C-alpha cells in the first residue's frame, strides 16, 4: 500500500518502546504502575500488529491486534488491578536475588547474547537482516526478561506479571511469523486468561490464612464468572 | 469424527456432575467417563485402520497414529483405575475435612476435563495445538493439586504452574522457529507433524538444533527433567494420591511424548548428533539428581516422586541412543513405568490415610506395624518397589535392561555411571522401605492407632496394576511387538 520503508521505521520505533516498558517492569517496585505498564506494553504490541497489517495486509494480524487489545490491554490488567485492590498489596519490594540495577545490566547482556546467537543461527538465510530478525531478537529478549521477573520476585502477583510479559515476547516473536493460524493465537489467549484467573485466585490464598481464603474465594466465585464471559 | 465421541462424552459427564449432589454420584459419573474413553480407545485400537489422517476438514489439526493411540490407551487405563480408587480415597478426604464438599464438583469436573484434554493432546497433529493442550493439562492438574484445603498445596500448585508454564512459553518460541524453518525451506510454513517429518531432511542443522533446544526446555519441564524438576516432588507428594497417580503415570508422558515427536523430526536432519548429546546429558543429570535426592528422603510419596524423575531420565537416555531398538524399549518403558508408578502411588495413598501426619505434609511419615494395619498396601509398596527398580520378571526390568544394553554400544563409561546411579536410587528406596516397614511396637505396649478400613475400591486397582506389570512382560509379544515396530517405523527411525 504505502511506502514499506515508512512502516519499517515506525515498527523500529515501537520496538524501542517495547524495550522501555520491559525495563520499567524489571525495575519498578510499585505494583499498580506495574499493571499499567504491562497494559501499555500490550498496547504497543497492538500498534506493531496494526502497522504490520498495513504493510502486509494479512487479515490474521488484524485479528491478533483486536484480540490483544481486548484481552491484554483491557480485561487482564483490569482483573489484576481489581485483585490487587482486594488483597491490598501496593508494593513488592522483595527482590529475591537481584537488585533492579543488576537486573538491568543482566538484561542488556542477555540481549547481546541473543543478538549474537541469532545472527549465528540465521547466518546465510534470507531471514537475516530483515524485520523478522529484529522481531526475534526483541521478542526473545522480552521472554528472558519476563522470565527474570518471574524467578526473581517473591510475590506471586508480580510473578504473574512477569509471565504475562514473557507471553508478550512470544507474541512479538510470533507476529513476524505471520502464517500461524488465527485459531491457535486465539486458543493461546484463552489459555492465558484461565491461567491468570487461577493464579490470582491462588495468590489470594498465599497471602492470607485459610479461613480468610475461603471467605474470599466465595466472594470471588461470582465475580470470576463475569470475567470469563469475554 | 471419532474424536467427537470423546468430546461428547466429556460434555455429557461434566453436565451430569454439575447436577449431582452426592460424592458417589459424581464419582460414578467420572468412572463412567473413564470407562467410555477406554471403550472408545479400545474400539479404535481393534477396529479402526490406523493411521487416520485428517479428522477435521481443512488444515488437518488432528490425526491418529499408532504412537498417539498407544499413549491414549495407557492414559485412559490409568484414569479408569484412578477413578475407581478415588471412590474410597476422596470419601475419606471428605470425612477428615481435608477436602470441602463444596469443592467436589470442581474436583470431578476438572478430573474429566483433564482426561479429555490429554486425549486430545495425544491426537493433535499440529504441534502448536499439542502445545496448547499440554499447557492446559498443566493448569487443570495444578487445580487438582491445589484443591485440598492446605496452604502447602497452594504453594506446590503455584510453583508447578510457574515452572511449567514459563518453560512452555520458551517451547512456543521454539515452535515459531520450527515454523520459520519449514517456511524458509519449502515456501509454505507448517506445524503439522506429519508434514514436518517429511520435510525434515532439508532443514538447516543450525536452526533445527536451536528450535529443538527451545522446545526441549518446555517439554522437559513438563516431564520433570533436570534442572526443571523442582516442582515435581512437591506437586506429586501433596496432591491427593489418586491425582498423584495420574500426574506421574500420564502427565509426565505428555512431556516425553512431545520430546520424542520433536526428536523424531531432528533425527532426520544432520543435527542429530548434537541433539542426542544434549538429550543424553540432561538424561544422565536427571538420573543423578533423582538418585542423590532419594538418599536422605523420609517421605514415602516424595520418594516415589523422585523415582518418577529418575525414570524420565532413563527414557531420555534411551532416546539419546537413537537406534530403533532403543526407541522401542523407551516406548515400553513409558508404559511399564506408568503402570508401576500408578500402583505405587495407590499403595502410598493407603499408607498416607493410615499414618498421615497432622502437622504438615512435609513431615516424615511415621510408619509402624505396617503389616498389622495395612498388609496389602505394604506388599503393594514392596512388590511395586521391586518392580520399579527393575527386578525381573517385572516389565520395567526388560525396558531398563535393553535401554542400558543399547547405551553400552554408545559409550561404556556413561553406562557404568548410569548403572551406579540406578544402584544408588534402588538402594535408597530399599533402605527406606526396610527401615520404615520393620518398625514394630513391642508386645504389650498400647497401640494408639485406629486401623483405617481400606475399602475394596482402593485395593482392587493396586492388585490389577501389579498383575498387569507382571503379565505385561509375558503377554507383550502377542501383538505388542508388531504394534511397537509400527510406531518406530512411523517415527521414521528405521
What's the confidence (pLDDT) of residue A221?
45
What's the confidence (pLDDT) of residue A229?
33
Of all residues in chain B, the percent with pLDDT exceeding 90 is 26
Tell me how far apart the alpha carbons of residues B314 and A205 are, in angstroms, rounded to a whole number: 37
Average pLDDT over residues B161-167: 87
Check A214 against B162: CB less than 8 A apart: no
C-alpha cell at B385: 518397589
**Contacting B residues, span 310-329, partner chain A, CB-CB under 8 Å:** none
**b (16+ CB within 10 A) / e for A176-211:** bbbebbeebbebbbebbbbbbbbbbbbbbbbebeee
Check B165 against A195: CB less than 8 A apart: yes
What's the confidence (pLDDT) of residue B485?
86
**Contacting B residues, span 113-152, partner chain A, CB-CB under 8 Å:** 126, 128-129, 132, 135-136, 139, 142-143, 146, 149-151
C-alpha cell at A137: 531478537
Residue A141 clears pLDDT 50, i.e. is over it: yes
By three-state DSSP, how is residue A186 classified?
A: helix
The 3 state secondary structure assigned to chain B is: CHHHHHHHHHHHHHHHHHHCCCHHHHHHHHHHHHHHHHHHHHHHHHHCCCCECCCCCCCCCECECHHHHHHHHHHHHHHHHHHHHHHHHHHHHHHCCCCCHHHHHHHHHHHHHHHHHHHHHHCECEHHHHHHHHHHHHHHHHHHHHCCCCHHHHHHHHHHHHHHHHHHHHHHHHHHHHHHHHHHHHCCCCCEHHHHHHHHHHCCHHHHHHHHHHHHHHHHHHCCCCCCCCHHHHHHHHCCHHHHHHHHHHHHHHHHHHHHHHHHHHHCCCCHHHHHHHHHHHHHHHHHHHHHHHCCCCCHHHHHHHHHHHHHHHHHHHHHHCCHHHHHHHHHHHHHHHHHHHHHHHHHHHHHHHHCCCCCCCCCCCCCCHHHHCHHHHHHHHHHHHHHCCCCCCHHHHHHHHHHHHHHHHCHHHHHHHHHHHHHHHHHHHHHHHHHHCCCCCCCCCCCCCCCCCCHHHHHHHHHHHHHHHHHHHHCCCCHHHHHHHHHHHCCCC
Check A159 against B162: CB less than 8 A apart: yes
Of all residues in chain B, the percent with pLDDT exceeding 70 is 95
> How would residue A226 be classed by pLDDT, with cut points 50, 70 and 90?
very low
Q: Does A202 reach chain B within 8 Å, measured CB to CB?
A: yes
Tell me how far apart the alpha carbons of residues B233 and A122 are, in angstroms, rounded to a whole number: 39
Residue B308 clears pLDDT 50, i.e. is over it: yes
From A69's Cα to the closest Cα of chain B, the distance in A is: 20
Are the CB atoms for A180 and B125 separated by under 8 Å? no
Q: Where are the domains of chain A?
A: 4-228
From A74's Cα to the closest Cα of chain B, the distance in A is: 22
Residue B2 clears pLDDT 50, i.e. is over it: yes
Are the CB atoms for A188 and A72 separated by under 8 Å? no
Q: Does B176 reach chain A within 8 Å, measured CB to CB?
A: yes
Residue B308, Ramachandran bin (φ over 0: left; ψ between -120 and 50: alpha; else beta): alpha
What's the confidence (pLDDT) of residue A96?
57
Phi, psi of B126 (to 5 degrees): -75, 125
- Of B87-91, B360-364, B385-389, the poorest mean pLDDT is in B360-364
Check A194 against B128: CB less than 8 A apart: no
Average pLDDT over residues A176-205: 70
- Of A57-66, A85-94, B362-371, B426-435, the poorest mean pLDDT is in A85-94
Q: Does B98 reach chain A within 8 Å, measured CB to CB?
A: no
Average pLDDT over residues B190-218: 86
Average pLDDT over residues B219-245: 88
Q: Does B10 reach chain A within 8 Å, measured CB to CB?
A: no
Q: Is residue B446 situated within a structural domain? A: no
Check A163 against B184: CB less than 8 A apart: no
Task: Identify the domain containing residue B239 by its residue range.
Answer: 2-441+452-490
Which residue among B129, B158, B166 sits closest to A206, beta carbon to beta carbon?
B158
Check A132 against B180: CB less than 8 A apart: yes
Average pLDDT over residues A112-121: 83
Q: Does B460 reach chain A within 8 Å, measured CB to CB?
A: no
Check A179 against B165: CB less than 8 A apart: no
Q: Is residue B447 situated within a structural domain? A: no
C-alpha cell at A100: 533492579
Average pLDDT over residues A103-131: 77
Q: Does B295 reach chain A within 8 Å, measured CB to CB?
A: no
Output the average pLDDT for chain A: 74
Output the average pLDDT for chain B: 85
Check A191 against B158: CB less than 8 A apart: no
**Contacting A residues, span 151-170, partner chain B, CB-CB under 8 Å:** 151, 156, 159, 163, 166-167, 169-170
Residue holding cell 520418594? Answer: B303
Tell me how far apart the alpha carbons of residues B465 and B348 are, in angstroms, rounded to a whole number: 14
Chain B residues close to A117, C-beta within 8 Å: 210
ipTM: 0.80
Average pLDDT over residues B449-462: 81
Candidates B113, B166, B206, B361: best to mutate against A (most CBs of A within 10 A) is B166
Q: Does A214 reach chain B within 8 Å, measured CB to CB?
A: yes
What's the confidence (pLDDT) of residue B447?
67
Check B173 against A194: CB less than 8 A apart: no
Distance (Å) of CA B96 to CA B149, B165, B290? 11, 33, 33
Check A163 against B169: CB less than 8 A apart: yes
Check B136 against A191: CB less than 8 A apart: yes
Q: Say how many domains are in chain B.
A: 1
Chain B residues close to A127, C-beta within 8 Å: 180, 184
Tell me how far apart the alpha carbons of residues A77 and B304 are, in angstroms, rounded to a whole number: 40
Which residues 6+ apart lie within 8 Å of B3 measured at CB?
B55, B62, B120, B123
Q: Which residue has the higher pLDDT, B265 or B190?
A: B265
Residue holding cell 551406579? Answer: B420
Residue A180 clears pLDDT 60, i.e. is over it: yes
Residue B257 clears pLDDT 90, i.e. is over it: yes
What's the confidence (pLDDT) of residue B364?
63
Residue B18 clears pLDDT 90, i.e. is over it: no
Check B132 against A120: CB less than 8 A apart: no
Phi, psi of A161 (to 5 degrees): -65, -35
Chain A residues close to B162, C-beta within 8 Å: 150, 159, 163
Tell me how far apart the alpha carbons of residues B486 and A117 are, in angstroms, rounded to a whole number: 39
Q: For B110-144, how does the pLDDT look when each residue is reduced to its tens digit (9 = 90+)?
A: 888 999 999 989 988 888 889 989 988 988 888 88
Task: List the one residue out of B306, B275, B278, B302 whose CA is nearest residue B290.
Answer: B306
Check B151 against A205: CB less than 8 A apart: yes
Tell me how far apart the alpha carbons of residues B119 and B137 are, in angstroms, rounded to a whole number: 10
What count of CB pairs under 8 Å joins A to B? 101
- Of A9-13, A34-38, A129-133, A164-168, the poorest mean pLDDT is in A129-133
Check A203 against B158: CB less than 8 A apart: yes
Residue A228 clears pLDDT 50, i.e. is over it: no
Residue B468 clears pLDDT 60, i.e. is over it: yes
Q: Does B60 reach chain A within 8 Å, measured CB to CB?
A: no
By three-state DSSP, how is residue A172 classified?
A: helix
What's the confidence (pLDDT) of residue B240?
87
Candidates A185, A192, A195: best to mutate against B (most CBs of B within 10 A) is A195
What's the confidence (pLDDT) of residue A205?
60
Candidates A115, A143, A153, A164: best to mutate against B (most CBs of B within 10 A) is A143
Q: Is residue B14 situated within a structural domain? A: yes
C-alpha cell at B356: 498421615
> Which of B185-199, B362-376, B414-428 has maximum average pLDDT?
B414-428
Amino acid at each position: 500500500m504505502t511506502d514499506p520503508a515508512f512502516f519499517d521505521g515506525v515498527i523500529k520505533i515501537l520496538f524501542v518502546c517495547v524495550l522501555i516498558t520491559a525495563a520499567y517492569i524489571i525495575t519498578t517496585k510499585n505494583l499498580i504502575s506495574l499493571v499499567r505498564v504491562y497494559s501499555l506494553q500490550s498496547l504497543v504490541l497492538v500498534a506493531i500488529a496494526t502497522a504490520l497489517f498495513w504493510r502486509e495486509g494479512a487479515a490474521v494480524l488484524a485479528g491478533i491486534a483486536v484480540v490483544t487489545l481486548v484481552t491484554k490491554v483491557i480485561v487482564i490488567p483490569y482483573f489484576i488491578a481489581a485483585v490487587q485492590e482486594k488483597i491490598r498489596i501496593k508494593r513488592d519490594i522483595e527482590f529475591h536475588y537481584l537488585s533492579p540495577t543488576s537486573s538491568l545490566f543482566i538484561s542488556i547482556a542477555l540481549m547481546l547474547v541473543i543478538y549474537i546467537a541469532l545472527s549465528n543461527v540465521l547466518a546465510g538465510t534470507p531471514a537475516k537482516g530483515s524485520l523478522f530478525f529484529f522481531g526475534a531478537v526483541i521478542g526473545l529478549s522480552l521472554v528472558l526478561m519476563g522470565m527474570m521477573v518471574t524467578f526473581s520476585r517473591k510475590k506471586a502477583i508480580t510473578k504473574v506479571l512477569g509471565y504475562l510479559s514473557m507471553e508478550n515476547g512470544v507474541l512479538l516473536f510470533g507476529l513476524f511469523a505471520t502464517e500461524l493460524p488465527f485459531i491457535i493465537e486465539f486458543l493461546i489467549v484463552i489459555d492465558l486468561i484461565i491461567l491468570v484467573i487461577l493464579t490470582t485466585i491462588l495468590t489470594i490464598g498465599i497471602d492470607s490464612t485459610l479461613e480468610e481464603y475461603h471467605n474470599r474465594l466465595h466472594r470471588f466465585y461470582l465475580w470470576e464468572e463475569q470475567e470469563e464471559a469475554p | 469424527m471419532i474424536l467427537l465421541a470423546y468430546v461428547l462424552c466429556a460434555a455429557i459427564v461434566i453436565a451430569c456432575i454439575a447436577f449431582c449432589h452426592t460424592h458417589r454420584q459424581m464419582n460414578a459419573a467420572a468412572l463412567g467417563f473413564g470407562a467410555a474413553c477406554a471403550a472408545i480407545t479400545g474400539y479404535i485400537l481393534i477396529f479402526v485402520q490406523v493411521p487416520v489422517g485428517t479428522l477435521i476438514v481443512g488444515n488437518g489439526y488432528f490425526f491418529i497414529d499408532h504412537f498417539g493411540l498407544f499413549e491414549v490407551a495407557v492414559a485412559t487405563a490409568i484414569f479408569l483405575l484412578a477413578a475407581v480408587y478415588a471412590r474410597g480415597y476422596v470419601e475419606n478426604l471428605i470425612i477428615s475435612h481435608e477436602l470441602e464438599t463444596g469443592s467436589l464438583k470442581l474436583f470431578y469436573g476438572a478430573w474429566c476435563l483433564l482426561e479429555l484434554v490429554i486425549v486430545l493432546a495425544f491426537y493433535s497433529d499440529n504441534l502448536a495445538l499439542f502445545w496448547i493442550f499440554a499447557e492446559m493439562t498443566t493448569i487443570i492438574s495444578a487445580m487438582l493439586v491445589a484443591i485440598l484445603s492446605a496452604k502447602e498445596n497452594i504453594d506446590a500448585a503455584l510453583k508447578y504452574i510457574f515452572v511449567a508454564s514459563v518453560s512452555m512459553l520458551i517451547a512456543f518460541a521454539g515452535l515459531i522457529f520450527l515454523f520459520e524453518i519449514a517456511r524458509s525451506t519449502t515456501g509454505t510454513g507448517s506445524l503439522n507433524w506429519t508434514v514436518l517429518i517429511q520435510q525434515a531432511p532439508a532443514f538447516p542443522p543450525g536452526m533445527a538444533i536451536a528450535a529443538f533446544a527451545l522446545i526441549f526446555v518446555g517439554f522437559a519441564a513438563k516431564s520433570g527433567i533436570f534442572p526443571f524438576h523442582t516442582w515435581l516432588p512437591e506437586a506429586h507428594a501433596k496432591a491427593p494420591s489418586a491425582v498423584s497417580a495420574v500426574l506421574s503415570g500420564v502427565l509426565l508422558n505428555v512431556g516425553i511424548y512431545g520430546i520424542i515427536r520433536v526428536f523424531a523430526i531432528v533425527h532426520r536432519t544432520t543435527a542429530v548428533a548434537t541433539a542426542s548429546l544434549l538429550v543424553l546429558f540432561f538424561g544422565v543429570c536427571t538420573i543423578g539428581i533423582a538418585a542423590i535426592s532419594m538418599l536422605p528422603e523420609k517421605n514415602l510419596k516424595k520418594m516415589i516422586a523422585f523415582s518418577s524423575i529418575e525414570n524420565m531420565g532413563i527414557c531420555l537416555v534411551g532416546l539419546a541412543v537413537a537406534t530403533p531398538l532403543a526407541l522401542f524399549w523407551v516406548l515400553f518403558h513409558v508404559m511399564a513405568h506408568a503402570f508401576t508408578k500408578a500402583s505405587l502411588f495407590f499403595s502410598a495413598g493407603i499408607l498416607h490415610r493410615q499414618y498421615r501426619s497432622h502437622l504438615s505434609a512435609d513431615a516424615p511419615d511415621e510408619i509402624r506395624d505396617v503389616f498389622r494395619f495395612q498388609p496389602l498396601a505394604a506388599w503393594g509398596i514392596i512388590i511395586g518397589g521391586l518392580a520399579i527398580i527393575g527386578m525381573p520378571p517385572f516389565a520395567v526390568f526388560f525396558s531398563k535392561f535393553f535401554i542400558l544394553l543399547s547405551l553400552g554400544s554408545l559409550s561404556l563409561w556413561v553406562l557404568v555411571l548410569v548403572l551406579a546411579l540406578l544402584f544408588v536410587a534402588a538402594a535408597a528406596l530399599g533402605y527406606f522401605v526396610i527401615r520404615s516397614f520393620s518398625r514394630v511396637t513391642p508386645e504389650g505396649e498400647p497401640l494408639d492407632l485406629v486401623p483405617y478400613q481400606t475399602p475394596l475400591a482402593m485395593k482392587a486397582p493396586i492388585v490389577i496394576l501389579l498383575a498387569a506389570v507382571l503379565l505385561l512382560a509375558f503377554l507383550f509379544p502377542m501383538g505388542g511387538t508388531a504394534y511397537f515396530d509400527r510406531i518406530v517405523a512411523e517415527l521414521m527411525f528405521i
